[in-house]
Amino acid sequence: MSHPAGLPDLFLDRSLGRVAVPRLLRAEGLRLVTLAEHYGMPDDEAVEDIEWLRLAGTRGLAVFMKDEAIRRNPRERAVVQAFSVRCFCLARQGLTAPEMAKRFIDNLDAITRACCSPGPFIFVVEKTRIVQRL
């Protein structure tokens, strides 16, 4: 598999981990950068969500994360809206790295279709579908 046409490059939040999930997604041909790769370690731990969300929106990257609470945080939600960020969140917190990667991969067609829109939006990535929350 290769990176689907129409899918922007991806930015992965630290909530998905630094190694396993990015490696599994890259094995499927996806182009991505992790928060740790962009900001360096250990600086990535101090980066506020509003900062990397602004970066992703400015660069037109789609965001994969595990933290669905972003839609309820007024500051983070405002940045998502102001910078037209396209977000895809896993709602289940207890998933293993292979399960997390599988959810994104299994829903890649729907994620790619959603990215035809410029955003802003937040989708929850479930086992067999994505559901828009913003």
Question: What DSSP assignment string belongs to 52-90?
Answer: HHHHHHHHT-EEEES-GGGGG-HHHHHHHHHTT-EEEEE
Nearest Cα to Cα of residue 21 among 104, 111, 83, 84: 104
Per-residue pLDDT of the chain (134 residues; tens, 9 = 90+): 799 999 999 999 999 999 999 999 999 999 999 999 999 988 888 999 999 999 999 999 999 999 777 878 999 999 999 999 999 999 888 999 999 999 999 999 999 999 999 999 999 999 999 999 99
Classify 120 as helix, strand or coil.
coil
pTM for the full predicted model: 0.95
Task: Provide the pLDDT for residue 55.
Answer: 97
CB 92 within 8 A of CB 116: no
pLDDT of 91 reads 84
Instruction: Please give the pLDDT value at position 43.
Output: 87
pLDDT the model gives residue 133: 93
Q: What are phi and psi of 34, to 5 degrees?
A: -95, 160
Q: In this structure, are residues 1 and 28 in contact, taking their beta carbons and an 8 Å threshold?
A: yes
Structural contact between residues 16 and 67, judged by C-beta atoms closer than 8 angstroms: no
In angstroms, the CA 43 to CA 65 distance is 18
Domains of the chain: residue spans and CATH: 10-132 (3.40.50)
Half-sphere exposure of 62 (CA within 13 A, CB side): 26
Pairing of strands 130-132, 121-125: antiparallel
Q: Are 79 and 50 in contact (CB under 8 A)?
A: yes
